[in-house]
């Protein structure tokens, strides 16, 4: 029978690297809430149906067009005419040593050296000193479009 640690390694991709207690808690908290989807690149654009956001505020988009996935987050803002949906797309490659970052609660965490980024790509914790790369995003009534550079 597997131990709890083996279970966590398998289900969450936990690498056994020692990280801060808050990062561990956030990483474990996010295990069940990460939704991975695939998207094909057509003319430099990835298309994601808005229905992917019915039960979560972000998805991880995998595509053969990129070496790393894209973190796509729904950002709802209120203005005088009501709520407005915006989307943010981040390349999930750490700017420190190019490891893949992982969603961990309210941050994106690099398991290689401990860098942390906000869900808008800003560096929160070094050793990374450069924000995550962002992709331009547009949308219509049904889809979100990630414009690859």
Domain regions of the chain by residue span: 4-147
User: pLDDT digit string (tens) for 20-57?
Assistant: 444 444 444 445 578 999 998 999 999 999 999 888 88
Res 34: pLDDT: 86
How large a percentage of the chain has pLDDT more than 90?
Answer: 58
Backbone dihedral angles phi then psi of residue 94, each to the nearest 5 degrees: -60, 140
3-state helix, strand, coil split of the chain in percent (to 5) is: 15, 40, 45
How large a percentage of the chain has pLDDT more than 70?
Answer: 75
CA distance 101 to 131: 12
Say whether pLDDT at 93 is over 60.
yes
Say whether pLDDT at 98 is over 60.
yes
Q: What is the mean pLDDT of residues 100-126?
A: 92
4-147 CATH? 2.102.10.10
What pTM was estimated for this model as a whole? Answer: 0.75
End-to-end CA distance of the chain: 47
């Amino acid at each position: 029978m597997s131990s709890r640690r083996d279970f966590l390694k398998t289900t969450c991709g936990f690498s056994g690297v020692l990280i801060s207690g808050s990062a561990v808690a956030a990483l474990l908290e996010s295990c069940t809430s990460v939704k991975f989807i695939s998207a094909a690149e057509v003319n430099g654009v990835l298309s994601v149906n808005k229905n992917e956001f019915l039960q979560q505020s972000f998805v991880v988009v995998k595509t053969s067009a990129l070496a790393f996935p894209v973190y796509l987050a729904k950002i709802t803002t209120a203005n005088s005419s009501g709520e407005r949906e915006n989307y943010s797309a981040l390349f999930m490659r750490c700017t420190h040593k190019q490891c893949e970052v992982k969603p961990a609660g309210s941050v994106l965490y690099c398991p290689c050296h401990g860098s942390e980024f906000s869900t808008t790509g800003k560096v929160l914790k070094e050793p990374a000193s450069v924000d995550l790369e962002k992709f331009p995003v547009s949308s219509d009534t049904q889809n979100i479009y990630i414009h690859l550079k």
